[in-house]
Chain A
Amino acid sequence: MIEVLKCGAMTTVQDAGRVGYRHLGVVRAGAMDWLVCQQANLLLANAPDAAVLELTLGPLHLKFHQDSAIVLMGADFAARLQPADNVSTPAALSPGFIHVVPAGSILTMKRAALPGMRAFLAIAGGFDVPVVMGSRSTDTSAGFGGFQGRDLQKGDRLVVGSQNELIRNRSSGDSKTPGIRPLAPDSILRALPGPDYSAFTEQAQADFWDSAWRVSPNSNRMGTRLIGSKLSLLADLELASAGTLPGLVQVPPDGQPIILGYDAQTVGGYPRIACVIAADLWQLAYMPPGSTLYFQQVSLQEAHAAMHDQERKLSRLQDSLRNITW
């Protein structure tokens, strides 16, 4: 069991997300960068769908009441591990490596140590919360899934699934720990023109692709709100409400685009200027308010190729980890 000693806002249990229920108004939820979580699960010999913790800004302090192994991914939150004796110097934990955590240790993660936000904590065995509608992800708006349908609070006790034997047999003295260097976000989001693209002025179309967009402080898992050139329509556009998807870029009447996130509502009625390709959505996890991003137009073929490429890299990683002698 893992005990939460201290916890910043929006620290949630997440997995790949909930699919197949959008017609009921149920959002996908899920880790904002599931790619690195999949890598962490591979390192820990976990089931591919093992649930992780998603941290937004930290801090997070956890007490481990059992022997465990963890992998941290995403932004560097200056993680330290205080051994159970409470005397030894805390060890710094680098993201991307497996860290063995003996029972009694206390993990502390501060606010993000470097520019950026969101970190992910994967654990051997995965966080064991009930599977609801096919997923362990937290739906904070509808209040179900994850840990009691909400973000974590001080005093919560998290149950961990059973560890793979490979991990259980590793001793903490092992010096050879495999690791992964995660991709660095380049703040360029590849996107397809959306269904209402041609309803925007030529100026708006040009501005969308060519100008810099600043992330608004009002951004969250529901949407990344952007500040920049005002995007105008050629004429008023009354749209019937229609299904939405994460990555869709909507433009409300104020002309400032919103990239829909994994917790965004499933039906919407604002004009859709573009859709960020699935292979680039992970970058949104790491874009704090004030950071800058750009859109780059790609073709449908390029969008498919980008996803294919990402999957091939993951499967190669899986193959290479299989050959590691533990």
Chain B
Amino acid sequence: MTASKLACVQLSENALLLSAANKADLPTQRKIWQLTELLSESALATESLQEIVPGMGNLLICSRHGHNDNLPEISEWLQQTWQQLSTNDKPAQRSANTIIIPVSYGGDAGPDLAQVADHCGLSEADVIARHSAVYYHVYCLGFQAGFAYLGGLDSALTIPRMQTPSLQVAAGSVAIGGKQTGIYPAASPGGWHVIGHTSKRLFDIENSSPCLLKPGDRVKFEPL
């Protein structure tokens, strides 16, 4: 099967954004991970690129100082490589892991659990069961250092973000916002509904690889 071309736009004078689709599904995202991995290993990237940032169905490349002349060539290489990647390919990630996140649901650890249950017409136990039943995929990282955009939330658990964001969401909070679920690596204001808490460190600068999760990893929540 022939993949469609990546849409390529200039993001800044030193950066291009290549997009496969405006919405990321898992097969497309798998190809984004593969493309990211292949690019990161290429001599082209080492020489010319400062940043390679996968997003939801897209990839941002930003050139090193004085190397923006090479962006068209890299873009062309990405298009060709994209055509050769098949959606049927096994996840080519050699290093993808499955990470279990133990979660204390409800109570002080998850102050918004009751509200989520109420909104979704489920019992609190059902929310916990559904939230912890599936394997999520880390689509990309962003928002905070080590924050994972997770795909795979049970559609019965969607709830609009809060109208007024909470001033302070604790580090380790497990939350739902819209069609997404995620874990806050650091305390920050946030508009998602907090249903639980994990003591796992999502970002630890003392660690040789500071982020617990990386794109392509699978995540499963385990109720404590």
Contacts and interface: CB of A to CB of B under 8 A. Distances in A.
B11 A25 contact: no
Contact of A238 (B9, B19, B22): B22
A195 B143 contact: no
B17 interface: yes
A81 B200 CA distance: 48
B145 A24 contact: yes
Given A141-B144, A143-B186, A267-B142, A23 B9 contact: no
A121 interface: no
B140 interface: yes
Interface string B180-220: 00000110100000000000000101000011000100000
A194 B12 CA distance: 8
Given A192-B13, A241-B149, A245-B11, A304 B55 contact: no
Contacts of A239: 22
B76 to A, nearest CB: 17
Interface residues on B, range: 35 or more
B188 A20 contact: no
B84 interface: no
Nearest to B139: A241
Given A139-B145, A144-B205, A267-B53, A240 B13 contact: no
Contacts of A23: 36, 51-54, 140-141, 215
A242 interface: yes
A296 B149 CA distance: 35
A247 interface: yes
Given A242-B17, A243-B60, A22 B145 contact: no
Contact of A243 (B17, B21, B23): B17
Nearest to B24: A240
A303 B71 CA distance: 15
A91 interface: no
B140 A248 contact: no
B172 interface: no
A239 B54 CA distance: 15
A158 interface: no
Nearest to A276: B12
B51 A142 contact: no
A92 interface: no
B68 interface: yes
Contacts of B147: 25
Contacts of A27: 145
Contacts, number: 131
Contacts of A244: 60
A19 interface: yes
Contacts of B21: 240
A278 interface: yes
A304 B11 contact: no
Contact of B146 (A25, A241, A242): A25
Interface in B1-57: 9-15, 17, 19, 21-24, 36, 50-57
Contacts of B173: none
B14 A278 contact: yes
Interface string A240-270: 1111110110000000000000000111100
B22 A240 contact: yes
A179 B177 CA distance: 53
Nearest to B68: A304
B51 A25 contact: no
A215 B123 CA distance: 47
A27 B21 CA distance: 25
Interface centre among B10, B24, B142 (most CB of A within 10 A): B142
Contact of A142 (B12, B22, B53, B203): B203
Interface string A26-37: 110000000000
A284 interface: no
A25 B212 CA distance: 12
Interface of A: 19-20, 22-27, 132-133, 139, 141-144, 149, 192, 194-195, 238-245, 247-248, 265-268, 272, 275, 277-278, 300, 303-304, 307
Interface of B: 9-15, 17, 19, 21-24, 36, 50-60, 62, 68, 140-147, 149, 185-186, 188, 203, 205, 210-211, 215
24 contacts: A22-B53, A24-B210, A25-B145, A26-B145, A141-B188, A142-B145, A143-B186, A194-B11, A195-B10, A239-B22, A240-B21, A240-B24, A242-B55, A242-B60, A243-B17, A243-B51, A243-B60, A265-B144, A267-B141, A267-B142, A275-B11, A277-B13, A303-B13, A304-B13
Given A268-B142, A304-B13, 6 more contacts: A24-B211, A25-B146, A192-B10, A242-B55, A244-B60, A245-B62
